[in-house]
């Protein structure tokens, strides 16, 4: 790795999904010792906890707004962190789950900070994916697992392997391409059902998954038939799991 040429640094850490339970000691110590912490977490108690670890913490979440293009919000978040790095500060960005999983800002901010000659890196956290494997008893090594962002899955032609798991992220905004709303409508989400029906039977069981974010909660795993997917209650924090429908096919060339 290239040696940093500037004073000031950026470390993006993961808080994990569950408040007070998932964060690594290394991530916590970075938060505690930072000159300034930028917090981007969905859960109010998580936010309060991080804020209690370092008095010099700023919540980035209010930068999101209904009707505002998320790409603009992401750039504002990067700029806010970079601004402090340029002032020579030890900056930490605390992002829920894993900071590098379906999260643009930490990746982008690290690239920009490195280009400017600052030290910048990421420390992992427990993501929704990690919780999903534990809660749903899924080993991605058993049949394989494809992960896509729901709108990317809709807009592009992908090669779907129905003998493995398919996991779709951000299904709560599926079918809305404005990148400016918090949730899409059932009608918009019906396009996701429609596309999945090109690969799977209407009666195939899919799982709407939500990891617990408080120790007193339990996770949600709603099993529904694919045909009714868009009629279900789907939130911003829902992830869709489509289990395999077809058996693995032997490749005779490699036996």
- Looking at 64, 70, 191, 220, which residue is catalytic? 70
Whether residue 156 lies in the annotated active site: no
Alpha helix (H) residue ranges in the chain: 25-33, 44-53, 70-86, 104-115, 128-135, 140-143, 150-155, 186-196
Whether residue 148 lies in the annotated active site: no
Q: What burial class does residue 141 get, using C-beta atoms within 10 Å of its C-beta: 0-12 exposed, 13-18 middle, 19+ buried?
A: exposed
Closest CA to 106 of 127, 85, 131, 81: 81
Give the one residue of 64, 102, 133, 182 binding ligand SAM; rule: CB under 6 A: 102
In the complex, least distance from residue 251 CB atom to ligand SAM, rounded to whole angstroms: 32
Region of 28-36, 62-70, 179-187, 233-241 interacting with ligand SAM (CB under 6 A): 233-241
Q: How many CA atoms lie less than 13 Å away from 236 in the CB half-sphere?
A: 9
Q: Kindly tell me which of 9 and 15 has the beta carbon lying closer to ligand SAM.
A: 15
The position carrying tokens 């010792």 is 33
Q: Kindly tell me which of 6 and 177 has the beta carbon lying closer to ligand SAM.
A: 177
Give the one residue of 211, 226, 229, 241 binding ligand SAM; rule: CB under 6 A: 211
- Looking at 45, 64, 71, 96, which residue is catalytic? 96
| 46 and 213 Cβ atoms separated by less than 8 Å | yes
Is residue 103 close enough to count as binding ligand SAM by CB under 6 A? Answer: yes
Sign of the torsion formed by the C-alpha atoms of 151, 152, 158 and 163:
negative
Residues 18-77 that bind ligand SAM (CB under 6 A): none
**Site residues (vs ligand SAM, CB under 6 A):** 17, 96-98, 101-103, 127-128, 169-170, 172, 209-211, 213, 236-237, 239
Catalytic residue positions, numbered = 70, 74, 96
């Amino acid at each position: 790795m290239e040696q940093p040429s500037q004073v000031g640094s950026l470390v993006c850490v993961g808080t994990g999904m569950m408040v007070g339970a998932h964060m690594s000691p290394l991530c916590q110590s970075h938060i505690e010792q930072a000159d300034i912490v930028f917090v981007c977490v969905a859960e109010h108690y998580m936010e309060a906890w991080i804020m209690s670890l370092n008095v010099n913490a700023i919540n980035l979440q209010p930068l999101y707004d209904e009707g505002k293009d998320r790409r603009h919000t992401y750039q504002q978040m990067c700029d806010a962190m970079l601004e402090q790095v340029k002032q020579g500060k030890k900056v930490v960005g605390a992002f829920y789950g894993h900071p590098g999983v379906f999260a643009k800002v930490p990746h982008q901010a690290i690239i920009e900070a490195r280009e400017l000659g600052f030290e910048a890196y990421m420390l992992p956290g427990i993501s929704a994916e990690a919780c999903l494997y534990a809660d749903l008893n899924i080993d991605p090594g058993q049949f394989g697992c494809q992960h896509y962002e729901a709108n990317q899955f809709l807009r592009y032609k992908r090669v779907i392997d129905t003998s493995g798991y398919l996991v779709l992220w951000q299904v709560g905004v599926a079918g809305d391409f404005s990148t400016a709303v918090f949730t899409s409508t059932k009608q918009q989400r019906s396009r996701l059902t429609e596309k999945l029906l090109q690969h799977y039977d209407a009666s195939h069981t899919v799982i709407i998954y939500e990891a617990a974010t408080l120790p007193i909660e339990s996770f949600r795993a709603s099993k529904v038939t694919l045909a009714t997917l868009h009629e279900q209650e789907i939130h911003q924090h829902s992830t869709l799991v489509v289990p395999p429908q077809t058996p693995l096919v032997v490749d005779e060339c490699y036996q």
